[in-house]
Structure 1
């Protein structure tokens, strides 16, 4: 199992900054395979046309969009087109300090048995819902566990990030549009504070539009 430092996605995430999203990197977006509006093919077409270099689609409890996008990208490469690098992704519900949060699984082995229970369209119940169980499953599948939009929950982001670090999370979503504007822009101050805390803890930082509509540059 790759560790945080030697996972191939880690070197990409080390480049993440306030201006990375939505034009270059996007590690949080959705398709019709969960609650999004774009088909997998439409989303990857849009990402390619806009010049993204790295992308992960993180449908809720589903990685099913990945195969269609991978096939589309393969055809484009064969025709000589420059396309983004696509990473596996999924957004998983979990309980962290008794608070329901979302965990982004990134760069994991598709169809790995340890993630199957989380890949059925709905949140799990019982012990499997605990954040430590989710992180353990993601790591067993060779992926990175990232706390999504840490300032959107009933508990403070500082408390949740501290607990996430204690449980072995690999990082958190540092750059996010909490105002949910038509065109994505990271929220100042709060994102800078989260980014600083993650750096101090030695955790990876991601960014994403969390797009559910028909425009990949907005929410």
Structure 2
């Protein structure tokens, strides 16, 4: 696959079939290698299920794989996404929290299906699970079933007509607070980064989130405008935070035009994250 754009060395925000991406972890890492990138972070929603396969593929394709996650949280009625990097996957606390979030996702899916049924659209839980190849079930999987049966012509239409906020089958999701999400990452020895703050204009919350352990801001993102890059880059510098970046890749059908590596960072940032994660582990060990 040949890109017409200059690509970064590392894309630190990518999704796989472990949540709502269209490529398996192996397929994603292979694509990263084909494009000539050097590193990628697997940041699936509320799950770490794709890590092992991605790391194995990284060894095969000589790609550095960061073990990440994206946690969806709520702040003042706004969606706030917290990225975590290099967490300890053996953490009992982390795994128990993720199990609870997974159960909440299933409950939400069933409520959405019930609301769709009242609109004359009957689809089964089993069909949704077939699209949700991983343990993290979400609305995009429901939209894929709607598309398969011809109820909609695109994933975007599915959200706008049926399952997006304000649509007739929309069901709010159980969410952590940003503080809870940051603390979860930090207690699992990871590096906590605020994802794509320009989408919701979240600068007001940053000082408080730093107090509970936020260590970086995602400055480069597929939905950030130039003014967002400048604003959040300046804020990161002011607060001495890491500046990260990534495409938020899901696959062409999920996010048209969002290509791996078109948004991202240099390998220097990867090294900074790894160094900060090592320091986090040292600090936690010292506290114990």
Q: TM-score range by the shorter chain?
A: 0.7 to 0.9
Hey, what does 2:238 align to over in structure 1? 200
Q: C-alpha displacement at 1:97, in angstroms?
A: 4.9
Q: What's 1:216 paired with?
A: 260
Q: In structure 2, list runs of 5 or more residues that go unmatched.
A: 1-5, 103-135, 139-172, 253-258, 264-288
Tell me which structure has the larger Cα radius of gyration: 2
Change in Cα spacing, 1:22 to 1:166, as seen in structure 2 (3 Å) is farther
User: C-alpha deviations, 1:120-154, integer Å up to 9, x for none?
Assistant: 3369847xx1222222221111101111100112x
- What is the aligned partner in structure 2 of residue 86 from structure 1? 65
Which structure 2 residues correspond to residues 1-219 of structure 1 after superposition, within 5 A?
22-76=7-61, 83-97=62-76, 99-116=78-95, 117-118=97-98, 120=102, 121=136, 125=174, 129-153=176-200, 156-178=201-223, 187-214=225-252, 215-217=259-261
Higher helix share: 2
Contact 1:22–1:208, Cα closer than 8 Å, also in 2: no
The alignment's TM-score, normalised by the length of structure 2, stands at 0.57
Structure 2 match to 1:6 = none
Query: TM-score scaled to structure 1, two decimals?
Result: 0.74
Tell me the distance in 1 between the aligned counterparts of 2:179 and 2:225: 29
Q: Tell me how far 1:59 sits from its aligned partner.
A: 0.7
Q: Name structure 1 gaps, 5 residues minimum.
A: 1-20, 77-82, 179-185
Question: Residues of 2 paired with 1:202 and 1:132: CA distance?
Answer: 19
Which segments of structure 1 move beyond 6 Å, counting only runs of 4 or more?
none
User: What do you get for the CA RMSD once the two structures are aligned?
Assistant: 2.4
